[in-house]
Chain A
Amino acid sequence: MDVVLASLEPLIRALREGGHTVVGPTVRDGVIRFAELSSAADLPAGWRDEQEPGRYRLHASSGPAEVFGFAASPDSVKRYTHPPRSSLFRWIEDTAVETPVEAPRLALLGVRACDLAAIAVQDRVFLGGRHPDEAYRARREALFLIAVTCSTPGGTCFCASMGSGPRATTGFDVALTELADGFLAEPGTARGRDLLAALPHRPATEDDREAAERIESTAAARMGRRVDLDGIRERLVEQRESPLWDEIASRCLMCASCTMVCPTCFCVTTEDADDERFERWDSCFTLGFTELGGEPVRSSGGARYRQWLTHKFSTWVDQFGTYGCVGCGRCVTWCPAGIDLTEELRAVTEEAGTRDVTTQGTEASATVSTALERLR
């Protein structure tokens, strides 16, 4: 049953006492970052974000001190399910000694609907094929997921278009919606229900549920961006030879930030350090990604941008039966060139060539670049 929690303090305490490391949003160097929470006081109450292509700003709000009054942060759940770098094995005395998988019991508090959708996409990518990734499975199964409804979508969000938000409907242990006087909490699993039952609460009323629905519909109507998915899969394939790919590439810095912040991008490469072998995030924006016989297959930037966008909205569907995008907007916000994929999708899939192809400025925002440095 859904209940109303007056405070998140007992929730955090119960999870910690239950052996979980509780991780949630905190303010670090002017950006919302996921970090360990020791109490509800660590949450960014009263902070608001401002997100636009190539722009992220955080400021204290003058209004009520909402705890979750901001949208997706550069950290996604991917950091925990598919870490940036992990050891595979060491080769010792002519044999491979597998590195034990680190799968800490994390309770992630404040996960957005788009990120839950991204986990569902990752499940298909990592577990759906002939060679399931057991390390992913272990890390993912060790997670306790506490979702929160987005009340204040960012300027770059388009989860409503992708059908993935702003309110979580599945894939969580507990889902919260922040009300004026507490948090509507719905269990999604048996362990979520048990947890809620053990916390101080009052039963939810019809008024609470209506208030939560209002928050959801208001947020859905305030999405900063949208995409039109109708026929997009086919149209991207038809536009493979469009001149617009090179035009976009003339603005793109090939920095790979978009693929790093994306919660679904899964590409990796390997790294050998002495006898130890690692796997780490890689990006289709790098030249070495397709190198073959001394030459990259995708030597032009246009071919690389085409690969990224076409994969997300077309070939991903062929491969995994779902889009590779959940509409979180991270790649738009954290692109130092301010390239907006919703905009580029529209340009490429509408009649190619109808847009004025003058090169826009590629002024990088210092905040964005330095924040990205820390992300790596």
Chain B
Amino acid sequence: MIPVPYRVRSRRPDRADTVTLTLDPVEGAAPPFLPGQFTMLYAPGVGEIPISISGHARAGGYVQTVRAVGAVSRALCRTRRGEIIGVRGPFGTHWDLGLAHGLDVVVAAGGLGLAPLRPVVRHLAAHGSRFGRITLLVGSRTPSTVIYPRELARWARDFDVLVTVDHPDRAWRGPTGLITKLVGRAVFDPARTYAFVCGPEIMMRATASLLADRGVRPGRIALSLERNMKCGIGRCGHCQLGPLFTCADGPVVTYDMAAPLLEVRQL
């Protein structure tokens, strides 16, 4: 429960309320992470929250994208270059890219759900030949809340990237409406497909059930669950979902395991 000091090497405001921080340990090396894992970021004197790791920094630290929604995330977004914050982790289960080798891949990200999926997408972009047809689906509230817009443009050169928004502005030419609409437009062979899905729970349930309806095996649909977490190591009890401690047995779980739990109201 004791955070390690990390220095904010760079701070890049992505959008109005979102900031991407690059964090390096003040001493030594950052422990290795797997795509989908998260850290507990401590804003000194304010509090500590779970934030996904969105990538490796060149010197071996972490890239993490934070949306300012409350006291702690706001404090983290306000930190400046050179400042020190606390980090614990990485924690949790990961997106298992090995299981998708040789299969078509669908990545579906709702809103900030792209943050934990970014290492997956970067891996797909770098090692496309190991996979079948790759599709990235992104849903966002408005065009201006789409995170990593420049990378999305680059990834679009390597595979299908479809972005939809709930509320288009005048300049928007792309699809509008829920991300589930994009599932129908994605090209993949359901019997030979692995899916990585992350976003608000309602979006994940809808997307996963649609993918399953189209014939993707529930055991090949991976989701990242979000629950209130105070410790990240299965101790505080807050993140329980039935038998699962979401922080340690998750956040990444497969749909066959999650579906019966997510179906229960307020579990």
Contact = CB atoms under 8 A, between A and B. Distances in A.
Interface in B194-247: 200, 226-228, 230-231, 233-238, 240, 242-243, 245
B5 A94 contact: yes
B233 A131 contact: yes
A161 to B, nearest CB: 23
B5 A96 contact: yes
Interface size for chain A: under 10, 10 to 19, 20 to 34, or 35 or more residues?
A: 35 or more
Contacts of B245: 319
A298 B238 CA distance: 11
Interface stretch (A24-32, A285-293, A334-342): A285-293
A130 B233 contact: yes
Nearest to B239: A290
Interface size for chain B: under 10, 10 to 19, 20 to 34, or 35 or more residues?
A: 35 or more
A292 B266 contact: no
A297 B227 contact: yes
Contacts of A303: 265-267
A318 interface: yes
Report whether over half of chain A's contact residues are helix, strand or loop; otherwise say mixed.
mixed
B45 A131 contact: no
A360 interface: no
Interface stretch (A9-17, A146-154, A190-198, A268-276): A268-276
Nearest to A93: B84
Contacts of A130: 233-234, 248
A94 B230 contact: no
Contacts of B267: 240, 297-298, 303, 307
A290 B1 contact: no
B240 A268 contact: no
A344 interface: no
A269 B266 contact: no
A269 B228 CA distance: 11
A34 B243 CA distance: 34
A241 B240 contact: no
Interface string B30-47: 000000000000101111
B1 A279 contact: yes
Contact of A94 (B2, B84, B238, B266): B84
Contacts of A126: 235
A40 B173 CA distance: 84
Contact of B26 (A94, A289, A292, A293): A94
A362 B46 CA distance: 39
B227 A282 contact: no
A121 to B, nearest CB: 14
A290 B211 CA distance: 28
A81 B80 CA distance: 40
Given A241-B264, A268-B235, A95 B5 contact: yes
B265 A241 contact: yes
Contacts of A300: 266
Nearest to A292: B228
B238 A131 contact: no
B266 A91 contact: no
Interface string A257-289: 000000000111110101101010010100001
Contact of A269 (B3, B230, B242): B230
B238 A282 contact: yes
B48 interface: yes
A311 B230 contact: no
Q: Which of A98, A268, A282, A291 has most B Cβ within 10 Å? A: A268
A275 B44 contact: yes
For the complex of A and B, 4 pairs with smallest distance between CB atoms: A267-B237, A303-B266, A318-B243, A94-B84
7 contacts: A96-B3, A133-B235, A268-B237, A282-B230, A282-B238, A290-B238, A299-B266
Interface of A: 88-89, 91, 94-96, 98, 126, 129-131, 133, 237, 240-241, 266-270, 272, 274-275, 277, 279, 282, 284, 289-293, 297-300, 303, 307, 311, 315, 318-319
